[in-house]
Structure 1
Amino acid sequence: MRILLVLAHPLEDSFAANVAREARAALEASGHSVDLLDLYREDFDPRLSVAERGSYFSDTYDRSGAADWIGRLQAADGLVLVFPQWWFNFPAILKGFFDRVFAPGIAFDNDPAGGRIIPRLHNIKLFWALTTTGSPWWVVHLYMGNPVKRLLKRGIAAFCAKGLNFRMLALHDMDRATDAKRKAHLQRVRRLASSL
């Protein structure tokens, strides 16, 4: 499979960067090709341009400002996202990636009758999120209702592709995680990536 591995963290020595390295190594060892898209290192601008937003509901979305990233998504068979959860949500740069790259005519079509959007990412068969959160499991799941998983699975993934292999692997309570807990999580990442 051709995997687009999207990393969204500003620090090159972050735990998220380590997760991305482990996932990439395991995927490549299993024979998959990996295209690493490090949003910060590639200076991705998360802001929708005037032209992009102005063409959002027209016949042709203006993809000129994001053409390279769009092409990389369209060339992939699978998508693996690596990011921390901040305030129970995506980092702004990852939200901007969805806004600019998962756009009309690319990830979905607008229903001309105003109904449900029509999925277009037929090439994407795998949609995984490898994430961390500073909150304990019970806060994320019981108090907040796991908003990031809901947005990814029921919103973005379900509206843009069908029949996906969806997985979300999270390390909770990251701010207090011991070295042993972090190493155990990296092993879980390796096992998951190696199973593909």
Structure 2
Amino acid sequence: MRILLVLAHPLPDSFAASVAYTARQALEASGHVVDLLDLYAEDFDPRLSQAERSGYFDIPYDTSAVADIVARLQSADGLVLVFPQWWFNFPAILKGFFDRIFAPGVAFTHDAAGGRIVPELTNIRLLYALTTTGSPWWLVHFYMGNPVRRLLKRGIASFCSKKLVFRMLSLHDMDRATEARRKRHLDRVRKALAAV
């Protein structure tokens, strides 16, 4: 399989970068082709432009400003996202990735009969989210209702591709995680991605 591995963290020596490196190694060791898209290193602009927003319902929608990344997504069989959760949500750069790349004609088309959208990312067979939170698991799950998982699984995954495998691996309470706990999480990531 061809996997688009998206890293959304500004620090090249972050734990997220270690997770992405571990995921890449495991995938490549299993024979997959990995296309690493480091949003910060590639200087991705997350801002939806005035032209992009005003033409959102144009057919065809103009993705020329992000054509390279759109092509990378459309040629992938799987998508692996690596990011921290900040304020119980995506980093702004990853939200902008969804806003600009998961566009009409790419991730979905508008149903002319009204309102609904039709999935177009039928090439994507798996979506894995490898993430960390600063909060303990109970706060993320019970108090906040795990909003990132809900958005990814019920929103982005099901609205863009009807038949894919979704999985989310999270290291909670990241700021207080010991070195041993971080290593165990990397081992968990390695095993999960080696099984793809």
Contact 2:122 2:163 in 1 (8 A): no
Correspondence for 1:108: 108
Residues 123-158 of structure 1, C-alpha deviations (whole Å, 9 max, x = no match): 000000000000000000000000000000000010
Q: 1:40 deviation in Å?
A: 0.1
Residues 87-131 of structure 1, C-alpha deviations (whole Å, 9 max, x = no match): 000000000000000000000001112231100001000000000
TM-score if structure 2 supplies the norm length? Answer: 0.99
Q: In structure 2, how many angstroms separate the alpha carbons of the residues matched to 1:114 and 1:144?
A: 32
Give unpaired runs (5+ residues) of structure 2. Answer: none
Give, as a single letter, the amino acid of the residue that structure 2 aligns with 1:86: W
Residues 26-56 of structure 1, C-alpha deviations (whole Å, 9 max, x = no match): 0000000000000000000000111211111
Correspondence for 2:12: 12
* Within-5 A mapping of 1:114-153: 114-153=114-153
Q: In structure 2, how many angstroms separate the alpha carbons of the residues matched to 1:115 and 1:58?
A: 15
Q: In structure 2, how many angstroms separate the alpha carbons of the residues matched to 1:182 and 1:114?
A: 47
- The DSSP-based 3-state class of the residue aligned with 2:43 is coil
Q: In structure 2, how many angstroms separate the alpha carbons of the residues matched to 1:122 and 1:55?
A: 24
Q: In structure 2, how many angstroms separate the alpha carbons of the residues matched to 1:129 and 1:109?
A: 24
Correspondence for 2:62: 62
Correspondence for 2:72: 72
Q: Identify the range of structure 1 (1-10 vs 51-60) with the bigger mean alpha-carbon deviation.
A: 51-60
Contact 2:6 2:37 in 1 (8 A): yes
Aligned length: 196
Correspondence for 2:46: 46
Correspondence for 2:164: 164
Q: In structure 2, how many angstroms separate the alpha carbons of the residues matched to 1:48 and 1:113?
A: 26
Correspondence for 2:29: 29
Contact 2:8 2:91 in 1 (8 A): yes
Q: 1:162 deviation in Å?
A: 1.1
TM-score if structure 1 supplies the norm length? Answer: 0.99
- The DSSP-based 3-state class of the residue aligned with 1:115 is coil
Q: 1:59 deviation in Å?
A: 1.1
Q: Identify the range of structure 1 (50-59 vs 123-132) with the bigger mean alpha-carbon deviation.
A: 50-59
Q: In structure 2, how many angstroms separate the alpha carbons of the residues matched to 1:85 and 1:6?
A: 14
